[in-house]
A and B are shown apart, each in its own frame.
Chain A
Amino acid sequence: MTGGYDERCAADLANVCEGRELAREDRAWLARAVTGAVRPNRDRPLWDLAHALAALARLTRAGAGRDLVTLVLDPQLARAEALRARFAEAGTATGTADARGLVLQGDAEGWRTTWSGLARLLALAEFVLTAEDLAHFSALSGWLDELVSAPGPEGAAFLAKRLARHLAAYRNAHLPLAPLERRFRAILGFLDGRRAFTDDDILGFWQAEMGGDERPGFRTVAEHFVTFEAVSALLGDLEGLAAAASLDAVEGWEDRLDASLGDLAVEPAESLAVLLAGIGDAPKILTGAERDDLADLLRLEPFHRTRPLTTLRAASFGRVQSGLANRLRRGGGGAEIAERVTCAEAETYRALADRVAALAAHLDRMLRIAAALRVPADAEGLEPEVRGALAAALTDLRRVRRAGFDDPDRVTAGFAAADAALLRLADEIGRLGRALAGLAGERPLEAAFTADRAIFARTLAEAYAAEAA
């Protein structure tokens, strides 16, 4: 387990995201609320949730916890506009809402949230209620019964504490964060206060970690650096985050943090897996091998643009290492350990660069076909060369020898569904190609590969010495 979550948690979250058709930003917020990536207090969303439920109980004059459950599980109430339409008027009349959102009057200033904030909190409520395949649904419904019987700030605070304990137990069971935290602490120690790092820092850190018991994959370590780079770029002084640690956080600071974390957490959601899923299998615009290559080369987004050397290392030697790990897990199959650690089978950087070029050429060809299918060659106002290119692409289409390309209707439909994803993929693979060209200009790929192979072979041989013997 290197991702920090288990299948159950991914399924629990997917159920809520799908059922409510959450936008990316809201999915990101929910994922952060679940993992606890909220500062200054990771239980703040639960505090807000408990107050929102108390305010809703007052507003709707809920008679029992089940009335709140019905509001939480109603997919019609997943959006801010729907919540405003349903509750703003009645809430204003009773002092539990205004045009901006929900209000819970209490001592001093009271508590409030916006309608879009409420939409997010209800998604969190659904997650908590339905998690672990409803294992705690009854208990939580009972807590809501208690809240409904006294829906004030005190009841809300009590529920918030219960929910915080509950989610902490859930995190213990389904979010193995401790190994991740150890690794990030080690990265912070390795960089010794630096925020900037080089490709060789990543390699050096991986080598150091390979001396320990965990023997993490080079790709896994590189993924940690992706997160580290993204977080430190957005938040700058990570130290400052630890300072304020109470619920009475400075107003505004949290929103700024939330906005930047939201952007950060959102970014991989539209990543490769989604793009590849967007390209159907009929016609076969991409073969299985091409998909695997794209996934392998682009998985460390954004490093394929910014750190081509780490991308090559992960693709070439990362594959050797996962082969080793798989063989150890299976207890056999394929080449011997002693043979694998020499990295004799590692794909050279030159060969990888050639494959990137071939993928770029193929994606470009498919894009031309997509354009030709979308724009009729006799459309008005086309430049003669564009017209020629479109006609050439249509001729080229007939030359493609792949499954499904002989059926014009499927080809038209398949490309129409895929062209946005194709464009993104072609763009990204083109950027990797340019980054690799830049790298080759500084240092011949052959020399870089030979030097790296010596390092990886030595490190793997030492780390797997016991198994290789």
Chain B
Amino acid sequence: MSDDAAGLLAEIHAARGLLRATARAAPSPARAHPGIAALWAHAIREPGAAVDLAVVRAIRTDPDTARRYRTLLAAQAVAHAPLAAAAADGRIASRRIGAFTLEFLDGMAEGPPLLVIRGENPRPPRIIEVILADDAVRVALPEPIAGAILLALDPAVPDVVRLGAMLRNPASAAFLL
């Protein structure tokens, strides 16, 4: 008998063992954590779309689920900056996310502060998501004008106010999607 016969027998033996192991694991009526499919659906949602609260809760409370979620975001992001280990100190006026520069223009004569996103990429980002500790906010971005995306941080819109505050904290993770 040939070596390949032994190889095939070994592979079938392992497949049989795996089937037995997965059958044993199968009857789990309530999954402890959302599956990857549910996390992915959450990761590709449009800003403001309905969310699965169980998924949101799991991302907030379970560090492993949160890490998986950030992995899924990072994989589809045009650019991203990971969570920083260092504790936050102070507010920053600008930061880099991959090839993009984010700048806050405060103290304008009139109107709210502006977030300006500049960067070279064939596909301009449509969405920004910022994660800090167990909080996350996702906001739609307007089309770029002359290479720059301008987002007004209107104090009347709670989400963009939170976005601005979290983004100014250098410890936050940011994803341009």
Please report A residues at the B interface, Cβ cutoff 8 Å: 3-5, 9-11, 13-15, 17-19, 27-28, 31-32, 34-37, 39, 42, 64-66, 69-70, 73-75, 126, 130, 133-134, 137-138, 141-142, 175, 177, 180-185, 188-189, 193, 223-224, 227-228, 231, 238-239, 241-242, 261, 264-271, 273-274, 277
Contacts and interface: CB of A to CB of B under 8 A. Distances in A.
Nearest to B74: A138
Contact of B18 (A18, A31, A39, A180): A31
B93 interface: no
Nearest to B68: A134
Contacts of B10: 4, 177, 180-181, 183-184
Nearest to A224: B13
Contacts of B8: 37, 39, 231, 238, 241
Contact of A27 (B22, B28, B123): B22
B68 to A, nearest CB: 6
Contact of A266 (B19, B25, B75): B19
B129 to A, nearest CB: 14
Name, among A17, A74, A75, A181, the residue most crowded by chain B CB atoms within 10 Å (CB to CB): A181
B111 interface: no
B143 to A, nearest CB: 17
A32 B12 contact: yes
A289 B74 CA distance: 50
Contacts of B25: 10-11, 14, 18
B98 interface: no
Interface string B64-105: 100010011011100000000000000000000000000000
B13 A133 contact: no
Interface string B18-55: 11111111111001000111001100100000000000
Contacts of B35: 15, 18-19
Contacts of A266: 19
A180 B18 CA distance: 14
A138 B15 CA distance: 27
Given A75-B37, A269-B20, A269-B23, A264 B5 contact: no
A333 B41 CA distance: 52
Given A14-B21, A19-B36, A69-B40, A239 B2 contact: yes
B7 interface: yes
Contacts of A31: 15-16, 18-19, 22
A177 B9 CA distance: 10
Given A10-B22, A277-B27, A268 B14 contact: no
Given A13-B22, A189-B1, A223-B13, 14 more contacts: A3-B18, A14-B26, A27-B22, A31-B18, A66-B76, A177-B10, A188-B1, A224-B13, A227-B9, A231-B9, A238-B2, A242-B4, A268-B16, A268-B23
A138 B73 CA distance: 9
B4 to A, nearest CB: 4
A274 B24 CA distance: 6
A37 B15 contact: yes
A181 B6 contact: yes
B134 interface: no
B14 A5 contact: yes
Contacts of A32: 11-12, 15
B17 interface: yes
A231 B13 CA distance: 9
B3 interface: yes
A273 B71 contact: no
Contacts of A188: 1, 5-6
Contacts of B2: 238-239, 242
A273 B31 CA distance: 20
22 contacts: A3-B13, A5-B14, A13-B22, A18-B26, A31-B22, A32-B15, A37-B8, A37-B12, A66-B76, A69-B75, A73-B40, A134-B68, A134-B71, A138-B71, A142-B75, A177-B11, A180-B13, A181-B3, A238-B9, A241-B4, A274-B24, A274-B26
A265 B15 contact: yes
Contact of A242 (B5, B23, B26, B40): B5
B23 A15 contact: no
A228 B25 CA distance: 26
Given A32-B15, A185-B6, A73 B22 contact: no
Closest 9 CB pairs of A and B: A4-B14, A37-B11, A180-B10, A242-B4, A238-B5, A185-B6, A188-B1, A3-B17, A184-B9
B68 A73 contact: no
B72 A134 contact: yes
A262 B48 CA distance: 46
Contact of A277 (B1, B24, B41): B24
A464 B40 CA distance: 53
A185 B40 CA distance: 44
Given A19-B35, A69-B76, A188-B6, A36 B20 contact: no
